[in-house]
Amino acid sequence: MTPEELIEQARAMLPRAYAPYSGFPVGAALECADGTVYTGCNVENAAYGSSLCAERTALVKAVSEGHRHFIRLAVIGNTEDFCTPCGACRQMLYEFAPDLTVYMANRRGEYRTASLGELLPQGFGPDALGSEARSST
C-alpha cells in the first residue's frame, strides 16, 4: 500500500468525526505489521478530557483486536497545514511502535513524513520501567 492509499483511508474517516466543540475533524489509518489497517476518527465529548483523538481511536481498535505491532500511521485534518498527532497520541503510539512512520497530511492530500522518534524524542516507553516491571504484566 502506498502512503497516498493509507492517507485516503484516513481521509475517509473525516466525515465520521464527531467534533461539535472544536470543529476540527481528524481521520487516521494505522497499518499493522501484517498489513491490516485500522481507521479512526476523533470523538469529542462535552467533558473535554473524555474526548478521543483519531489516532488513539485507531490504535485502541487495533489493540482490542489483538494487534501489537504497527509500522505506519496516516493522519489527516481538513486544514491547509499538515495534521500532526498530539502529545497524548504520540505517547500512546510510542508504547507499541517507537519506530512508527507517520504521514501527516493536509486537506489536499499533501503530506510530510516523520518517524515517531522524531515527533517524540527521548520518549518514555516500556523499557524505561526496567525488566522487573515488564515481567510482572
Q: What is the pLDDT of residue 110?
A: 97
Q: Compute how many other C-beta atoms are within 10 angstroms of the C-beta atom of residue 106.
A: 17
Q: By percentage, how much of the chain surpasses pLDDT 90? A: 89
The amino acid at 45: N
Q: Average pLDDT in the 10-27 region?
A: 97
Query: Higher pLDDT residue, 135 or 113?
Result: 113
This prediction's pTM: 0.92
> For residue 77, which phi and psi values (nearest 5 degrees)?
-125, 165
Q: Can you tell me whether residue 27 is helix, strand or coil? A: strand
Q: Average pLDDT in the 103-115 region?
A: 97
pLDDT tens column, 114-125: 999 999 999 998
pLDDT tens column, 28-75: 999 999 999 999 999 999 999 999 999 999 999 999 999 999 999 999
Active-site option among 8, 31, 55, 65: 55
Asked if 28 and 57 touch (Cβ cutoff 8 Å), the reply is: yes
Q: What is the pLDDT of residue 36?
A: 98
- Please check the confidence at residue 137 and state whether its pLDDT lies above 90: no
The residue assigned the cell 489493540 is 63
Active site residue 55: yes
Cα(first)–Cα(last) distance of the chain, in Å? 34
Q: What is the pLDDT of residue 136?
A: 46
The residue assigned the cell 498489513 is 35
The residue assigned the cell 469529542 is 44
